[in-house]
Amino acid sequence: MPEFIKSNIFNVPVATLFAFHEREDALQLLTPPFPPVRIISKSAPGLVIGTRIELQVGFFHWVAIHTAYQQNVLFIDEQAQGPFARWIHRHEFEDLGGTRSRLTDRIDFTLPGGSAINFCFGWMVLLGLGRVFKYRHQVTRALTCINEPQ
């Protein structure tokens, strides 16, 4: 199963970094212009375990469910319906002391069609995720690290 990992250090306390991700508009803020993403519905505010989020991502209908939550440490969302055979996204937060923290996005995914498909096309997903999470971490830095040079 392919795995994507993007990790960055932010000059902001972990509580501030985590609180940004709990904002009701966080998903809209963190979504790059392409592919277009539209939130169809969300069953509860915040990152509550069991929250169901229904999205339209480009041509794909996607349903994700929050399956784990530990304030200032992590939250996990898993695809319940969508283009992947398996998709688990761990958002990990680490307190590095004072005003420094680390955000790590870790995604385990499997494409439909078996190991040959994953071997042949998994790299394309990894490339796309690299672009998406570069954008997401830049936005996170811009909106949380007010005194940090961009």
- CB-based burial of residue 33 (10 Å sphere; 0-12 exposed, 13-18 middle, 19+ buried)? exposed
Question: Is residue 101 within 8 Å of residue 12, measured between CB atoms?
Answer: yes
Handedness of CA 66, 93, 16, 35 (dihedral sign): negative
The interaxial angle of helices 14-22 and 115-144, nearest 10 deg, is: 110
Task: Examine residue 149 and say whether the peptide bond preceding it is cis (omega within 30 degrees of 0).
Answer: no
| 3-class secondary-structure state, position 97 | coil
Tell me: the pLDDT tens digits for 101-119?
999 999 999 999 888 888 8
Tell me: the pLDDT tens digits for 68-93?
999 999 999 999 999 999 999 999 99
| 3-class secondary-structure state, position 22 | helix
pTM of the model: 0.92
- CB-based burial of residue 92 (10 Å sphere; 0-12 exposed, 13-18 middle, 19+ buried)? middle
Q: Could you report the average pLDDT of every consecutive run of 10 residues in the chain (150 residues)?
A: 92 96 93 88 92 94 97 98 97 95 97 88 93 96 73
